């Protein structure tokens, strides 16, 4: 007998060999009810496999890829093992293509690359899932395939993801794999592994894949429960000693790979929950060390009304900036340095310092930028129109400080970009033909009246 082998009980239930010792063997089952003592069990000699195929696109399935949405679909013929070794370095290539999320504050300040593993971290109800859904919407519209894994979630939260996909008409590019908090422990434990297996199948078919794991802190809690029931010695915070290996062997399977169809990527966005803004927890720091950075959703910013509540000073992207062109890199540099100055200025005026013209100008520009970053749920913005609108703010073309005025200009610009081909072609040409950020600023500054006239209609 070996780890991961499938066994069958005479009652018809399927089990999974979870651990072995010289005198005992622990088996987890997919059964909703307990297995009775004395029930006979037989080995299969095979590891746990799942059916994978194009038929799963547009479907909502459980961890064994059985339909949850009650719609019939043909079961794929090909099967793949849930557990496999991650590809070696010889099969990987440098991450050099940007991944657009459609969320301005992330695309401009914490850029991501295709093949990156990024942790999305924050307290409950701070907007993590909204960000993941917005990123999924952006990527599916750009031709990627998305695998969304709900790991031990409430049925309400699972339904919310399903409704978002249906409402935005992106079902044909998405597979949702779900396990609820009431499912057997084994089903919850294998959810992220089955999702990764399906993502690898889509990768081998020549597609770029966005894999969303929501969330791994819940996965760790259920894994801890399995471990303690199995009477294994608890480690730090009662988590099993191999919790790091459990997550690292999963996340290492994503990346940017050499395939028969050229470089293709599995980009993994893994969510994790914090308690009272504590990002130094055991599971959280484990995941930070495995991934290529993290996006931190701050509860205090959320309470202040910031949407999305991303704390860009505490967020990190380790490989995303290498995918930016010179315009994107210039925007990132200018924004990062200015927002640092803005935060220092705000702390300075709290001491009752006199506000001179320079401080007033910094506060005005900072307020405009934060209002520009305020982005409602489901509203995704193409990177080129993001850059164009930011340049209008940066050049001082939008002189009115009122949030309503800036909101109108932004929404008008996005609407024109989507509906007016001449306008979108002009914006694309400006951004793509500029050699760096300063050149783009010069082009837009020379035509400020023309652009503002179009946006004010």
**Other CB atoms within 10 Å distance of the CB of residue 52:** 23
Domain boundaries of the chain, sorted by first residue: 5-47, 49-323, 328-455
* Class of CATH domain 328-455: mainly alpha
pTM reported for the whole predicted model: 0.95
Whether residue 377 is predicted with pLDDT greater than 80 in this model: the reply is no
Average pLDDT over residues 101-120: 96
Average pLDDT over residues 384-404: 88
Per the annotation, the verdict on 318 as an active-site residue is yes
Q: Which of 318, 321, 405, 412 is catalytic?
A: 318
Contact of 189 with 28, CB cutoff 8 Å: yes
Average pLDDT over residues 386-394: 94
pLDDT of the residue at 273: 96
Whether residue 350 is predicted with pLDDT greater than 80 in this model: the reply is no
Angstrom CA distances, 362 to 33, 368, 409, stand at 63, 10, 21
Per-residue pLDDT tens digits for 242-276: 999 999 999 999 999 999 888 999 999 999 999 99
Residue of 403, 342, 341, 346 whose CA lies nearest to 372: 403
Question: Of 72-81, 190-199, 213-222, 283-292, which range is least confident?
Answer: 72-81
Written as one string, the DSSP assignment of 186-255 is: HHHHHHHHHHHHHHHHHHHTT--EEEEEE-HHHHHHHHHHHHHHTTPPP-GGG--TTHHHHHHHHHTT-E
CATH topology of domain 49-323: Rossmann fold (3.40.50)
Average pLDDT over residues 273-302: 94
Per-residue pLDDT tens digits for 18-56: 888 888 888 999 888 888 888 898 988 899 999 999 999
pLDDT of the residue at 353: 59
pLDDT of the residue at 313: 94
State whether residue 120 is helix, strand or coil: strand
Residue 84 φ then ψ, to 5°? -155, 160
**pLDDT band at 319, cuts 50/70/90?**
very high
């Amino acid at each position: 007998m070996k780890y991961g082998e499938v066994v069958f009980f005479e009652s018809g239930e399927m089990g999974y060999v979870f651990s072995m010792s010289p005198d005992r063997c622990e088996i987890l089952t997919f059964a909703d009810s307990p297995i009775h003592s004395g029930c006979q069990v037989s080995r299969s000699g095979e590891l746990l496999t799942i059916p994978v195929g194009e038929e799963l696109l547009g479907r909502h399935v459980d961890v064994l890829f059985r339909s949850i949405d009650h719609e019939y679909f043909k079961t794929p013929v090909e099967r793949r093992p849930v557990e496999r070794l991650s590809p070696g370095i010889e099969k990987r290539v440098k991450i050099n293509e940007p991944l657009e999320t459609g969320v301005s504050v992330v695309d401009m300040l914490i850029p991501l690359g295709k093949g990156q593993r990024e942790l999305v971290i924050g307290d409950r109800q701070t907007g993590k899932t909204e960000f993941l859904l917005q990123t999924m919407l952006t990527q599916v519209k750009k031709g990627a395939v998305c695998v969304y894994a709900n790991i031990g979630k409430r049925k309400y939260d699972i339904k919310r993801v399903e409704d978002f996909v249906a409402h935005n008409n992106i079902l044909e590019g998405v597979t949702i794999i779900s396990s609820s908090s009431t499912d057997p422990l084994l089903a919850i434990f294998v959810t992220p592994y089955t999702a990764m297996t399906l993502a690898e199948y889509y990768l081998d078919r020549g597609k770029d894949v966005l894999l969303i794991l929501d969330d791994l802190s819940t996965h760790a809690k259920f894994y801890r429960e399995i471990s303690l029931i199995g009477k294994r010695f608890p480690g730090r915070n009662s988590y099993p000693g191999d919790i790091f290996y459990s997550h690292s062997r999963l996340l290492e399977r994503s990346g940017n790979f050499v395939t028969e169809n050229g470089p293709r990527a599995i980009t993994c966005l893994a969510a994790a929950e914090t308690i009272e803004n504590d990002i130094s927890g055991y599971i959280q720091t484990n995941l930070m060390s495995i991934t290529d950075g993290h996006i931190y959703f701050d509860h205090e910013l959320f309470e202040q009304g910031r949407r999305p509540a991303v704390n860009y000073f505490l967020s990190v992207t380790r490989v995303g900036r290498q995918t930016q062109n010179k315009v994107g890199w210039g925007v990132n540099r200018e924004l990062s340095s200015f927002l640092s100055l803005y935060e220092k200025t705000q702390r300075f005026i709290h001491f009752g310092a006199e506000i001179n013209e320079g401080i007033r100008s910094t506060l005005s520009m900072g307020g405009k930028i934060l209002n520009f970053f305020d982005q409602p749920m489901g509203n995704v913005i193409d990177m080129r129109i993001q850059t164009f609108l930011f340049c209008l703010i940066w050049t001082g073309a939008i002189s009115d400080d009122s949030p309503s005025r800036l909101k109108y200009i932004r929404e008008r610009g996005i609407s024109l970009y989507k509906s007016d081909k001449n306008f979108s072609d002009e914006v694309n040409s400006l951004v793509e033909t500029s050699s760096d950020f300063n050149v783009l600023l010069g082009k837009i500054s020379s035509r400020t009246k023309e652009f503002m006239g179009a946006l004010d209609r």
